[in-house]
C-alpha cells in the first residue's frame, strides 16, 4: 500500500506526464489515443512505472511504447521544470490493457443479456 505522499506524487506525475505527452511530445510513433492510467513510484521515489493504455493495433501499441521510451528523458527534464520534487523518478512504461479487457467483458455481458431476452418463452 503506497504512503499518502506516494499516492499524491503518483497522481501528480500521472497528470503531468499525460499533459506532456498530449501537448509537447512530437513523436510520430505515438498513437492518437494514449492514456496514462496509473503511475506507481517506488518507495524511494527514484523510479516509477507508468501504465499506458493505447488504442490501436498491436503494431501501433509497440511503436507507441518505443516512442514513449525514446521521449523519457525529454519528459523527465520537462517535469523537473514543472514540479518541485527532490528527485524526478526514472520511468518505465508498461502497457495497461485493463480498459480493453473491461470493454470486451462489457460486450460479452451485453451479448449474454441480449441472448437471454431474445429467446422465445419456454426456451432457456
CATH assignment of the domain containing 51: 3.30.300.20
| pLDDT tens readout for residues 90-105 | 999 999 987 777 777 8
75 assigned to some structural domain = yes
Number of domains in the chain: 1
| This prediction's pTM | 0.78
Distance CA 81, CA 110 (A): 47
**Residue 68, pLDDT score:** 94
120 assigned to some structural domain = no
Torsion of CA 48, 46, 9, 19, to 10 degrees: -60
85 assigned to some structural domain = yes
32 assigned to some structural domain = yes
124 assigned to some structural domain = no
Helix, strand or coil, per DSSP, at residue 96 = coil
Is the model's pLDDT at 118 over the cut of 70? Answer: no
pLDDT band at residue 62 using 50, 70 and 90 as cut-offs: very high
When the pLDDT of each residue in the chain is averaged and rounded to a whole number, the result is 88
123 assigned to some structural domain = no
Amino acid at each position: 500500500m503506497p504512503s499518502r505522499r506516494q499516492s499524491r506524487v503518483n497522481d501528480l506525475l500521472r497528470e503531468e506526464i499525460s499533459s506532456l505527452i498530449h501537448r509537447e511530445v512530437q513523436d510520430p510513433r505515438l498513437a492518437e489515443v494514449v492514456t496514462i492510467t496509473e503511475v506507481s513510484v517506488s518507495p524511494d521515489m527514484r523510479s516509477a512505472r507508468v501504465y499506458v493504455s493505447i488504442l490501436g493495433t498491436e503494431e501501433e501499441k509497440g511503436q507507441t511504447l518505443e516512442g514513449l521510451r525514446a521521449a523519457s528523458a525529454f519528459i523527465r527534464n520537462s517535469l523537473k521544470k514543472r514540479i518541485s520534487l527532490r528527485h524526478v523518478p526514472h520511468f518505465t512504461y508498461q502497457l495497461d490493457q485493463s480498459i480493453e479487457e473491461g470493454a470486451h467483458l462489457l460486450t460479452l455481458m451485453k451479448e449474454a443479456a441480449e441472448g437471454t431476452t431474445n429467446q422465445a418463452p419456454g426456451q432457456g
